[in-house]
Structure formats: C-alpha cells, structure tokens
Structure 1
C-alpha cells in the first residue's frame, strides 16, 4: 500500500470520528444519517489526498508515476558526458540526469522510484523518446531549431565548437585539407549535417561516411579508413585523452559552428520542462555546475584516471551565469 494512500485513509478515519462525535442519538434514522455523513466524509478525505495529486499529473510525470520506473536514455561512449566505465554509466551529463531523477522522486513523493537505463545512439534516441521507450535523456544531444519540431529541450548544460581529430602526421590542420579524402562522422548528429553542407558549399568532394556511434567513428580514424573524425570538440578531446597513444592525435580545424547540449524530452510537457530546468538552473547559479565541470573535465576520470585538461570556457561560464534553453543554430 502506498504511503500517500495510507495517509488519505487516516484522514478519512479522523473525519469519520469527527462526524460520529457530532451526530446525536442512536435511533435507526439517526444511524442511517450517520452512515451517510461518514461515507461523504470519507469520500471528501480521499478526494483531497493522494488521489487528487495523482489525478493532477500529466505527461511524463504521470507516465513515470504509473510505471513506477524512470526510463533514462544513456550513451555507451560519449566521454566524458555519458559512458559506460566497465561497471556503470557515468559522466558529466549523467550526473545531471541523476539530479533530475532525484527531483522527480521528491516531486512524486516516491523515494524508491527505480531507474531503468536504456542505451541509445545518435540515430535512435529521438525515435525511442517519441515511442515512449525512454522518458528523457541527458547525454550529448545537440539542441537545434530543426529538432524542436519533434522534441523539447531543457536549459543548455554545455556549449562547444564543432571541430575534428586527425593523426599528428597526416598534414591535416583545417577542413580544406580534407578535400577528396575519406572523412567520418557520427550518423544522426548535427555535425553530420554541418559536414555535408560544407562539402557541398565548398565542393570539397570529401568521401563522408557516417558511423553508428562515436566509438565506431573513432575506430575508423584509427584503422586508417578515414583521415579525420568530425565531431563535437569535447567528444574528440575525450577520445584523444583516453587513447593509449594520445600524442598520435591532434584536435584541429576552424570551428564549423558553435552548439549546445541539452536534455531532451517530449514536446508539450510544461510540468516536466519546468522540473528539469529548475534543476539545471539551480545547479548552474549555485556554483554546483562549475564544480561538476571541474570533476569531469580537469581531473582524472574513470576508468583509467585520464585527465582531459579541458578548462571551463568563457562561453560555458556565461551560460552558467545566465541559464537558458536557446538553440545556437
């Protein structure tokens, strides 16, 4: 039996006792009247208790309440945002996701609410959200104006540039050097769109391939199937730092653009949007977000104790000072 239901029944019992105390006599007519008053009192108590609270829930919060589970989308290899360290899912944005989970538990009054982690990729995360296979995800998803047509986004939690990683001895320093060469990116990302637009606009004739996920894309670079991996700057820095031979790679290129990461959830769900934004804004303006950033970008991270040495940028510092949910494209 749920705690909220027990509380509602206790209030009903108190109200019944109060009604009995006020009803005089013990005649059959009075006893019938007493039973009627007691029934009405009980209904009133339940209507003003947990039942009303549950009935007021809508959208994602109602789904989570009814399911008794939060379906959280997570990534396998978006270092250092959301990735599997050999034991569990960890990372900068995973920590933000768990803060949101805690807020959901408090809001619903369900401290033992379970979390079911569902692995998503850049290609399937949106369909899985729309099909109710996940309730929300905070990985490395770019908030773009185009994506607002199908999903909703929280306050941004990270701003970055789109660049590339290449081998040190490749002679590649900027995107013009990729003309006529094989280049890899990750399918379903905003980076893929930017790269293909660049290829068309500048007539570079790059041979672009789109990998299933970031790990597969970086493997294509390492195996020589591509001369560069175009992706979000912090992602490629993560692969460089965690590779056994980091000095063999360089992050380079004039930024193709600047974008922001945000949590993604279903459109038209204002109560859930307000909850998520409240958590992110509170963290950013309190200084907690900057401490979390230092933990994942300037200190050793699991599983190998590698330090990305990626200091907080002025753009991210400004974002933390003024939380917002604006796309940059």
Structure 2
C-alpha cells in the first residue's frame, strides 16, 4: 500500500511538471508597496541598453532611466516614511521582462519599453520618459537607405520587442518578403549585421546610435533614412492590478518632471558626453517629450 502511494505521488509530481502551471504563468500578487515596507527593498530591472540602463566599467548600473528611478525610490521612501529603501538591481532581457515582473523577481523595469495598447494588456506603464522612433542599421557599403531596400533580405530583431511585428507588418504591406531573424539580445542582433549574416537590424534609433558609437569603426555603419515607425512613447513597466504602486510611481515622476532636476538628468545622458562611455548623442528633447514632461498622462 505504501509503495502504491509513493508511486502515485511520483506520478502526480511528474505530471505536474509536464502539464501544471508554467513558470511564466505564475503571478506575484503581493502589493508592491506592502513588500517594500516589509523588506525595505525594491527590485529594479535593468538592461544592456545605453543610455537608458546598463553596467558601466565599474559594474555599476547607470543610465537615464536609472537616474529617474533612483529619484522615484527617494520619493517612495518619503511617502512610506521609511529610513531607507535598498535597491536590488535585476538584469532583464526583452524576452523575459514581463515574466520577471509577473513572478515578482522585479517590481519595475527601469529601462525604455515601448508603450503600446497590446503591451498594456500584460503590464502597466508609468508616465512616458522618452519618445523614440525605430530605424534600421546596416553596413554603409551595402547602400541600404529606405525600407524598400530590404526587399528579399533578412533583418535581425530582438526577441520580446515590438520590432518583430513592425518589420513583419511592413513586409506584408509592401510585399517585401523580408525574413526576420529573432535573437536573444540587442548586441547579438547588431553583431549579425557586423558579420554580414543579416542585411539590417531594426531597433529604437537612439539605441542604434549608441551601439554604433561604441564600435571600433562607427563609420562602417549607417542608419536608414526612412523610419520604420513614427515616434512612440517609452515608459517603465510594472505589474498589472497593482494600482497603489503605479499611482505612487506616477506621482513621484510627476514631481520629478516638474522640477529643474529632470533637465539636468536628460542632458547628462543625451546632450553631454555620456558618463562611463564618453559618447555624445547631441540629442535635445523632442517636442513630444517636452509636452509629456509638462503634462504627464496615462495612455489608454
């Protein structure tokens, strides 16, 4: 009898692993503000996406988004009447960021995710902190400038990004027969262009400019003249159904946006030599961002 029970338990365990709830489907439902009070800690997701969030040469997590999120943490500390809030930085990729939010590994993704209506079905977004357009990068020698120049060619895209659908939609509408090649990371997608394995890599323009500037031969690369998309809002992602935390983050951002500090934070990463990289993007605030900082609002 005991042996029968053991066998049954083993069978249930095995079946549970095969047909049970997938790891990516597990939901962390403790209110974030409550956990911050209980633990004195907030979990912040970051990427390899200068100038928004990245590791510098000293192994520190830095960037435009990180500066803003550090400001948010200070505001939360005052709001929650805590002596301090420790920050635990969590590395994330475009493909696992929603999973890491949902399972509680990170509380907020402090990077620059495109705020789309489709994504808002899975995550909540903070007020926009940047506006960016998508272009593609290619080798200058191949003389690719327009979207139609990609006809019959392959284009790398990062898994978990909106760029996959953007390229596929353009290919369908214009009958370009583009072959999209999804890869795990932005750097891997860029390297495929360098190695000649794909004709182009589609990504946010500001990220591509930074990646080009960090190569040994920036003049070997060129951005497309034609945009893949118009300017789109970028924001920090948080878990759905955690309204108290989303509200607190947005209230903190509203205070930061209305202070003089935000201009200095922006200039530090986009208009001056980038700390740790010494790259100057020379990119002033767009009119869309100026308006978004002046009158922050939740996108529906």
**Bin for the TM-score computed over the shorter chain:** 0.7 to 0.9
Give the number of equivalent residue pairs.
269
Retained in 1: the 8 A contact 2:71–2:256?
A: no
Residue 228 of structure 2 corresponds to residue 230 of structure 1: no
C-alpha deviations, 1:13-42, integer Å up to 9, x for none? xxxxxxxxxxxxxxxxxxxxxxxxxxxxxx
Structure scoring higher RCO (CA < 8 A, sep ≥ 6) equals: 2
Residue 85 of structure 2 corresponds to residue 113 of structure 1: yes
Match of 1:184 among 156, 166, 179: 156
The offset of 1:275, in angstroms, is: 1.4
Residue 299 of structure 2 corresponds to residue 326 of structure 1: yes
The DSSP-based 3-state class of the residue aligned with 2:192 is helix
Match of 2:246 among 273, 296, 303: 273
Q: For 2:106 and 2:278, locate their aligned partners in 1 and report how far apart those are by CA, in whole Å.
A: 31
Which residues in structure 2 correspond to 1:20-59 (within 5 Å)?
59=31
TM-score (normalizing by structure 1)? 0.78
C-alpha deviations, 1:32-77, integer Å up to 9, x for none? xxxxxxxxxxxxxxxxxxxxxxxxxx711002222332111111x2
TM-score (normalizing by structure 2)? 0.85
Q: For 2:40 and 2:225, locate their aligned partners in 1 and report how far apart those are by CA, in whole Å.
A: 47
Gaps of 5+ in 1: 1-57
Q: For 1:322 and 1:251, locate their aligned partners in 2 and report how far apart those are by CA, in whole Å.
A: 32
The DSSP-based 3-state class of the residue aligned with 1:144 is coil
Please tell me the root mean square deviation across aligned C-alpha atoms, in Å: 1.6
Match of 2:279 among 306, 313, 317: 306
Q: For 1:266 and 1:103, locate their aligned partners in 2 and report how far apart those are by CA, in whole Å.
A: 19
Retained in 2: the 8 A contact 1:97–1:137?
A: no
Q: For 2:191 and 2:76, locate their aligned partners in 1 and report how far apart those are by CA, in whole Å.
A: 38
Gaps of 5+ in 2: 1-29
Q: For 1:310 and 1:164, locate their aligned partners in 2 and report how far apart those are by CA, in whole Å.
A: 18
Bigger Rg over Cα: 1
Match of 1:213 among 175, 178, 185: 185
